[in-house]
Amino acid sequence: MTAAPAQPAIVEMRGITIQFPGVKALDGVDFVLRSGEVHTLMGENGAGKSTLIKALTGVYPIDGGTITVAGEQRVFRGTADAQAAGISTVYQEVNLCTNLSVGENVMLGHEVRRAGLIDWKATHREAARHLTNLGLDIDTRSALSTHSIAIQQLVAISRAMVGEARVLVLDEPTSSLDRSEVEQLFAVMRDVRDRGVAILFVTHFLDQVYEISDRLTVLRNGMLVGEYPAAELPRGELISLMIGRELDELDALSRSAAREIDRDAAPVLEASDLGRKGVLEPADVSVYDGEVVGFAGLLGSGRTELARLLYGADRADSGSTQVRGTPARITTPRHAIDQRIAFSSEDRRAEGIIGDLSVAENIVLGIQAKRGWLRKVGRAEQAALVDEYIAALGVRPADPNRLIKNLSGGNQQKVLLARWLATAPQLIILDEPTRGIDVGAKADIQRKVAELAAQGMSVVFISSELEEVLRLAHRVVVMRDRRKIGELTSHDIEVGDLVDFIADGALESPENVA
């Protein structure tokens, strides 16, 4: 932990406030970034991390507060302003031109010129020099698209260094990297840090937080919890800072999830050899009455793909499905709905909400679609239904006529849940229902899921947060590299075990049914 407090602050954000329709994304947050440190921003989904980053990188204008870079107060009107101030960003999805060569990407906008024309030879030489500086040995003339995401990110960092970045923002760069790639990235990060660049880092992996960070800033619910030297903040304390009150509340839940599931009767949904070329290797899945089955795995592990095939959102090219022991062909969402199976997508905005319709219209849409256009849900029926679900799920604001796009993420999610619950499904597939929503809404949704299962509904629950999956699920299907690698009964599984399983693809436990 090399960063001493004496290091000068390169970025000072004071009292940053950003208001979105219906929700205060950031509320008076202070954040200080010093030269030559790796500073990790921590917080659960929806805590305001990405909003803060977007304020710093000029994507969002701030509604309140000040941003000072190197002692000079700045107003960012766009990302170009932030870049001019020396703030470079490497996003999760790399923002480079994959069809250009590595060298062209590294030197983009800084090409070596001679007599007004680009000297490509010198440009590539210069690119190679920058890459070598970071310990990278890549052919600068190869197309960027031929390299892995990991290499592309390193190229993006090189590019930032060419632009003489003083601040490097790495927003979840490791989410799709394997272990050795992460090591390589960290080596580069340390190197860059030691040259006096301030690195703002975001990750969801706790191990990585402690491995690389000098300092942590914790956000919760759009507010600052505090700033801590990484060495002085134990892991457990960090987690409770991040999730706050939630921990106690959900302990009660985990006990209710320990209920025994009757697996003698035919499963509500059983899929065998369900797969699709290039998307998912054939997998077997079954869900029983009143059971919560968790799908665990990293982003891109195949958990979403499996859920989509089960629902018919994408068409499987192998395997068969049975509903309560009877063969059922599910190749479109309509087929699934006719079997009383519901699916809530992980991409709430693109595949969930109908933004320009009201909360009420969004709730009723599921039932209405099921009934067909001729039998309209009557005004009185709609009002009763909508009021019931708004109250039951605690949708805020409780205004059925508000456009859903103006609600916060958590409340949109509740409305989507209401849409499906209103159709009385026997199985509901929830893909990342708690992503990017505030802690309160998250606890509400988790509680609702446990409650529904206790009442006999079957649930498939997908989340990147393994704690959440373990807390709610009776059984966990573990996915990796577009393949189901095993299945665990979750009573006595610890998060660490699950992480190891996902990482190594094996578990020294007899429960491994793969």
Least distance to other proteins, CB of residue 313, Å: 6
Rounded to whole angstroms, the Cα distance separating 456 from 467 reads: 23
Residue 371 in the binding site for other proteins (CB under 8 A): yes
Q: Please identify, using beta-carbon distances, which residue of 317 and 351 lies nearer to other proteins.
A: 351
Rounded to whole angstroms, the Cα distance separating 254 from 313 reads: 31
Answer for which of 22, 196, 333, 505 binds other proteins (CB under 8 A) is: 333
Residue 137 in the binding site for other proteins (CB under 8 A): no
Best CA proximity match to 366, nearest among 388, 349, 348, 382: 382
Cβ neighbors of 37 (< 8 A, separation 6 or more) are 3, 7, 193, 198, 199, 214, 215
Residue 361 in the binding site for other proteins (CB under 8 A): yes
Residue 425 in the binding site for other proteins (CB under 8 A): no
Residue 376 in the binding site for other proteins (CB under 8 A): yes
Q: Kindly state the number of chain residues that form the binding site for other proteins, as judged by CB under 8 A.
A: 29
Answer for which of 6, 115, 117, 350 binds other proteins (CB under 8 A) is: 350
CA atoms within 13 A on the CB side of 218: 20
Residue 421 in the binding site for other proteins (CB under 8 A): no
Least distance to other proteins, CB of residue 447, Å: 24
Least distance to other proteins, CB of residue 327, Å: 21
Q: Please identify, using beta-carbon distances, which residue of 103 and 366 lies nearer to other proteins.
A: 366
Q: What is the radius of gyration, based on Cα positions, of the chain? A: 25
Rounded to whole angstroms, the Cα distance separating 274 from 320 reads: 6
Rounded to whole angstroms, the Cα distance separating 16 from 49 reads: 12
280: Cα separation from own chain's centroid: 20
Instruction: Tell me the window of 148-156, 359-367, 406-414, 465-473 that interacts with other proteins (CB under 8 A).
Output: 359-367
Residue 117 in the binding site for other proteins (CB under 8 A): no
Residue 334 in the binding site for other proteins (CB under 8 A): yes
Answer for which of 105, 221, 368, 413 binds other proteins (CB under 8 A) is: 368
Torsions phi, psi for 416 (to 5 deg) = -65, -40
Answer for which of 151, 188, 269, 313 binds other proteins (CB under 8 A) is: 313
Answer for which of 141, 277, 375, 491 binds other proteins (CB under 8 A) is: 375
Answer for which of 337, 407, 415, 437 binds other proteins (CB under 8 A) is: 337
Answer for which of 60, 76, 201, 343 binds other proteins (CB under 8 A) is: 343
Answer for which of 221, 301, 339, 345 binds other proteins (CB under 8 A) is: 345
Q: CA distances (Å), 284 to each of 63, 91, 302, 318, 345, in order?
A: 50, 35, 13, 11, 21
Query: What is the token pair recorded at 338?
Result: 């006719």
Q: CA distances (Å), 251 to each of 46, 322, 438, 455, 465, in order?
A: 21, 35, 19, 19, 16
Answer for which of 167, 269, 365, 437 binds other proteins (CB under 8 A) is: 365
Rounded to 5°, angle at Cα 412 from 31 and 254: 80
Rounded to whole angstroms, the Cα distance separating 114 from 93 reads: 34
Q: Please identify, using beta-carbon distances, which residue of 203 and 358 lies nearer to other proteins.
A: 358
Residue 354 in the binding site for other proteins (CB under 8 A): yes
In sequence order, the β-bridge partners of residue 290 are: none
Could you write out the three-class secondary structure of 75-128?
A: CCCCHHHHHHCCEEEECCCCCCCCCCEHHHHHHCCCCCEECCEECHHHHHHHHH
Answer for which of 9, 59, 84, 369 binds other proteins (CB under 8 A) is: 369
Instruction: Tell me the window of 24-32, 51-59, 280-288, 363-371 that interacts with other proteins (CB under 8 A).
Output: 363-371
Query: What is the token pair recorded at 487?
Result: 């299945």
Least distance to other proteins, CB of residue 331, Å: 13
Rounded to 5°, angle at Cα 298 from 295 and 303: 35
Instruction: Tell me the window of 79-87, 170-178, 342-350, 385-393 that interacts with other proteins (CB under 8 A).
Output: 342-350
Instruction: Tell me the window of 68-76, 188-196, 224-232, 349-357 that interacts with other proteins (CB under 8 A).
Output: 349-357
Asked if 499 and 331 touch (Cβ cutoff 8 Å), the reply is: no
Instruction: Tell me the window of 70-78, 153-161, 371-379, 493-501 that interacts with other proteins (CB under 8 A).
Output: 371-379
Which runs of consecutive H residues, i.e. helices, occur in 195-329?
A: 206-212, 235-243, 246-256, 303-311
Residue 436 in the binding site for other proteins (CB under 8 A): no
Residues near other proteins (CB under 8 A): 311, 313, 333-334, 337, 343, 345, 350-357, 361, 365-366, 368-377, 419
